[in-house]
Structure 1
Amino acid sequence: MHFQGRKKWIIGLILLVTAALISGCGTEQASPLSDKTKIGIMLSDVGLGDQSFSDAAFRGLMKARDENGIIFDYKEISKDKTYDDGFEELAQENCDLIVGLGFMVKDSMEKSAKQHPDQQFLLIDETSDLPNIASITFKEEEGSFLAGALAAMASRTNHVGFIGGVDAPVIHKFQAGFEQGVKMVDPDMAVDVKYAGDFGKADLGASIAKQMIGEGADVIYTAAGFTGVGALQEAVRHGAYAIGVDSDQYFVAEKAVISSMMKNVDVAVYKAVIDFEKNGGKFAEQHMVFGLMDNGVGLAPIRVISLMQHEQKQLDELKQKLVSGEITVQIP
């Protein structure tokens, strides 16, 4: 199915299934929902159907709805709607908490937070000094270190690749962890690095992957959203291996994806929302950080290949050393 059609189908299905339970944040009259915690979320640029970041955050909110009875609304950018517009709409709906997904929404969130100082915000993947903005960040470098070690174990050409979405500090954490994990297993292994400049272009990701594979890389790790999906699928066409990101992306390219670096945005969003609700509309921590120890990042099940016993032991030991702090990833 073409992506745009698939995206519309996914969104339509989600709305159909959840329409009776998901409510807009604003209400002018008393209703059975009036006493429930109301969450609004401004999604990242690709939006629902990205099979990655936005979908994961949405799952976290659905879990909070199903298990704790919160209600929520969401906004996406389009040719007619900017991040500024989305945040203003959510603020006017009197949400108890407004979530902004991705570092690219920071400027618009801070603008809205200054205009609505009594409104509480939650920024994911960045931090802010404003008192009414809490934040969630991840130790992507820890999970990416394990992805790099796995890539080195899987490579048959001693040559692997990394594709980043945009050249930004948060993606540098993925790159640094991956490169250092590769070098921990094989200091002499070649690592290609390329940035696509976009999170939403599958064709571009496929083109970059094709080039990398042509130059000898046989395992490609993507931190590029839907652009990365194209790279994963290109790996299948060339008999190469790939490592997905954010969600378990095995089903995107079943013959290529040996694992995915799980950035458990759903877990973090769920925990933060429940914390917010239990603390009477406040966060116990202003800046929340999720790593391997907190189940914030990690590897999805290893498929397609089978590690030898000593390789699995090494991977397990590396994980424990990251958790204990014996290994720390150096981030430029």
Structure 2
Amino acid sequence: MEKQAYMLLALSHINRVGRRTLRLARLLGETVDFSSCTPRDIQKMLEVTPEAAERIKNEFSLQDAVMRAQKWAAEGIDVLTQYHSEYPNLLREIPDPPEILYITGNKDLLHRPAIAVIGARRPTAYGKNVALQWARELAEQDVVIVSGMARGIDSEAHRGALAAGGATVAVLGCGVNVVYPSENRALTVEMRRKGAVLSEYPPGTEPMRGFFPERNRIISGLARGVLVVEAASRSGSLITADLAVDQGRDVFAVPGSIFSPRSAGCHWLIQQGAKLVQNIHDVLSEYPDLISDTNENTIYAGATTLPPLTSEEKSVLSVIGWDAMSYEDILCRTSFSSGYLHYLLLSLQVKQQITQLPGPAFIRLGNKKDV
């Protein structure tokens, strides 16, 4: 690490020193040992109160910063500041970039084209299916999936990218060595091995409510566009979308049922000018440089290699929508016997037109052409 990076790291561990103070310290253009400065000089350099200047003088320690960085490096955690060439260039462009990033995993992913996939923490089956499938298909096109490791859409997006053997980055509202939510322990372990996990909060920092809106600017800042899968009318995803607009990023929204409150936020975004998207090609078409001739021909390749649907299968598929439908409801809306309907539902699953949920219930899969 550069000496200036250790200076920022030392400052960041002083109580009540925020991003603004860190930015002013970086802009000094030199390494300053604030423990050797007078409080008055610290006031002038960092534009802080007399009380803060006194605290910085008494608590600043470059030696402690070096020891922390060495300890974290031994644990597989890297520290990046804007002095580092590995600091992501896209983040440098946003109005309020993090001065320090802590990362575990593959740092190279921070420099590859990425799309952020975000949404509701309590999504519908439709939303989960879209997040999982679209993230998988985007990852198959060499797009890095960025999200926030939250319950619901975020977690499904990470899983989809990993299922494709693709790349994914999680931006946390806690330390990178803290598992949150607890049910994502296995996913977090896999992310650290196959993707990357990063945060602007030091290792060991427990999640706090205010951290999550702050980290949203990093999620959108790392990506070229933000895809909102499901969001209520009052949702943190709308905050991220708003930040994306301020950062000059594209915003994409997946439409849902007009009766679903979890799609109300997406519909509002579309009314405000977000691009309505119905498949990953609608997203990738905004970035011609990401679509090679090979990729363009393979986006829908899975659909064209499957056997065509029979008239009976089309009849069943026509009654299954984008929200989960129970087996009993499907049986009532079709004229087939129970035994034959089981056969048709199984065939539609094999042809990747629907998927089965607990219940049993069924839901239509997106991005597949009805043949």
TM over 0.5: no
Q: Choose between structure 1 and 2: higher strand proportion.
A: 1
Q: Choose between structure 1 and 2: higher helix proportion.
A: 2
TM-score normalized with structure 2 length: 0.32
Which structure's relative contact order is higher, taking Cα pairs within 8 Å and 6+ residues apart? Answer: 1
TM-score normalized with structure 1 length: 0.34
Bigger radius of gyration? 2
